[in-house]
Amino acid sequence: MSTATSESRATARTWVGLALLLIPALLVSMDLSVLFVAAPAITEALAPTSAQWLWMMDIYGFVLAGLLVTMGALGDRIGRRKLLLGGALLFGAASALLSLAPTAELFIAGRALLGVAGATLAPSTLSLIRDMFTDPRRRSTAVAAWTTAFTGGAVAGPILGGALLEFFPWGSVFLVNLPFMALLVAAAPFLVPESRGSGAAGFDLPGAAASLVGVLGLVYALKRFTEHGADVWGLAALAGGVLLLALFVLRQRRAAHPLMDITLFSRPAFTAAVGGNTAVAFATAGLGLLTLTFLQTVHGLGPLQAALWSLPTMAGTVLGAVLAGTLSARVRPGLLMAAGLLVGAGGFAVVGTVEPHDPLTLIIGGYTLLTFGIGIVATLANTLVLAAAPPERAGSAAGVAETSSEFGAALGIAVLGTVAAAAYRTGVREALPQVDGAAAETVAGALSEAPRAADPAALLEAAFTAYTDGLTTAALTGAAVLAVVALLAAVALRGLRPEASE
């Protein structure tokens, strides 16, 4: 396509269409974290068992991660806008079901349905942007905006949820999706052009099933290890997931019309971009959950107060995305990605110095530095993914990128959460050997047990100190991980010039 044609396509209508596509990107990400603040109200209303509550929290992410590649490939075949509109209708229906769910079982079904819908929305938006913005610099700006919406949604979820719960029942955190989905369905046919892959290739249904079950197996294994350690069920899920994904890769190499172009991973830009996406999702999800708990327990903030304190972290993501969009045409991708990862590692290191009674500005400052680096890396990674993939495979490539994000998020919560939990248990038992039960397991358990303890002040002091030690240990672990990934990214992308992302 000529430069003139590229220029002519980036009209005012194109930019308005981009603004419309940011809505589902924001909502899909936001619905991953909105339950952080809505959990107490939902638990009180539906009274789930402990097993049901785990499924209520996890099923959305399980289904979303398992279907992203499949839905991205389906959009390449049937039309990405068509898939987007169908997904929007399903997302709205699932949101309404969730808001009215009278039992834990129906809530779980609604979250699963929401995950299916979310898997159609996320890759559709990113692959549509690829076709709407064929000029590399305009595409970089558009991807920066998409990255800000998608990564910022994880921060916006608790903020919006906390605000709504101040005035409305818990169902409002899902009903808020409906007007946005209605706007998308009404306006997208006029503002977003249809795009699809070339040809009428068949759909690899066995490959889709293997990828879904394989991804679900790995994510379930991560969650199981976090909750119960390396037990038989977790190991079986891990082995089954690895086996099915290995079979999926073999099938994709031999299939006439594969869901995923495995040869893309032979391109350093694509592989490094997927690795960068995984690393930044690891950092965001892992530290985000620990930080919100820290604000609400150690510092005693309410859900809305904690969410408002998190606002600067969203600003960090925006500034990082803008900077990456500005510099990507002049700075080598390897240098820019490595710098973003090292900035993120520096933010982790700052959080690693926090003490229980330090001012909140210290942990929020470190967290904001982390999200600034994440904004740089995520924007560059998504740009490289789209640039490396041929136009007819844009949807499946976007699905791979977003699946890496979901895996990174699950890995971050599992690894950093496990590190923090182990440090908490060790710290409490060293300070108060006689403490057992819920207080010895979590800081929330210590808060609930404190009124009945022989020395409530001593218990809380020990619990807050132990939780802070867990937080800082997890943060230093995250810093080390990002530093290693920065080195690997610099090596993998060392031969690419700035124009490689175009």
Highest mean pLDDT among 11-15, 369-373, 454-458: 369-373
**Taking residues 339-367, what's their average pLDDT?**
93
Confidence of residue 366 (pLDDT cuts 50, 70, 90): very high
**Taking residues 342-369, what's their average pLDDT?**
93
* pLDDT the model gives residue 3: 41
Helix runs in 79-204, H state only: 80-100, 104-132, 136-165, 172-175, 177-191
The answer to whether residue 364 scores a pLDDT higher than 90 is yes
The answer to whether residue 199 scores a pLDDT higher than 60 is no
The two structure tokens encoding residue 432: 């108060």
Rounded-to-integer distance, Cα 272 and Cα 383, Å? 12
Rounded-to-integer distance, Cα 449 and Cα 437, Å? 9
pLDDT digits (tens, 9 = 90+) for 207-251: 777 877 887 787 778 667 756 777 888 889 889 989 988 888 888
The owner of tokens 């692959």 is: 127
Per cent of the chain over pLDDT 70 is: 85
The two structure tokens encoding residue 239: 């082995």
> What is the residue-averaged pLDDT of the chain?
80
Output the CA angle 273-389-381, nearest 5 degrees. 20
Greater pLDDT, 51 or 205: 205
* pLDDT the model gives residue 341: 93
Within 13 A of 127's CA, how many CA atoms are on the CB side? Answer: 39
48 secondary structure, DSSP code: -
**Taking residues 352-368, what's their average pLDDT?**
92
End-to-end CA distance of the chain: 13
Burial category of 4 from C-beta neighbours within 10 Å (exposed 0-12, middle 13-18, buried 19 and up): exposed
Confidence of residue 500 (pLDDT cuts 50, 70, 90): very low
Q: How many CB atoms lie within 10 A of CB 285?
A: 25
The answer to whether residue 50 scores a pLDDT higher than 60 is no
**Taking residues 305-313, what's their average pLDDT?**
82
Greater pLDDT, 266 or 250: 250
Closest by Cα among 294, 288, 297 to 444: 297
* pLDDT the model gives residue 290: 81
* pLDDT the model gives residue 457: 85
* pLDDT the model gives residue 4: 39
The answer to whether residue 65 scores a pLDDT higher than 80 is no
pLDDT digits (tens, 9 = 90+) for 387-405: 766 666 665 666 677 667 7
* pLDDT the model gives residue 89: 93
The owner of tokens 């099915």 is: 244
pLDDT digits (tens, 9 = 90+) for 437-487: 767 777 777 777 778 877 888 888 888 888 898 889 889 988 998 999 999
Confidence of residue 369 (pLDDT cuts 50, 70, 90): very high
Highest mean pLDDT among 17-31, 112-126, 363-377: 363-377
* pLDDT the model gives residue 368: 92
Superfamily designation of domain 3-203+257-501: MFS general substrate transporter like domains (1.20.1250.20)
The answer to whether residue 414 scores a pLDDT higher than 80 is no
**0.75 cut: is pTM over it?**
no
Rounded-to-integer distance, Cα 296 and Cα 45, Å? 21
**Taking residues 297-314, what's their average pLDDT?**
81
Rounded-to-integer distance, Cα 234 and Cα 219, Å? 10
* pLDDT the model gives residue 2: 38
* pLDDT the model gives residue 202: 58
Describe the crossing of helices 80-100 and 12-33 by its angle, rounded to 10 degrees: 40
**Taking residues 145-170, what's their average pLDDT?**
78
DSSP three-state, residue 432: coil
Burial category of 481 from C-beta neighbours within 10 Å (exposed 0-12, middle 13-18, buried 19 and up): buried
Burial category of 112 from C-beta neighbours within 10 Å (exposed 0-12, middle 13-18, buried 19 and up): middle
Highest mean pLDDT among 64-78, 80-94, 115-129: 80-94
Q: Would you list the domain boundaries of the chain? A: 3-203+257-501, 204-256
Q: How many CB atoms lie within 10 A of CB 200?
A: 9
pLDDT digits (tens, 9 = 90+) for 83-107: 889 999 999 999 999 999 888 889 9
The answer to whether residue 330 scores a pLDDT higher than 50 is yes
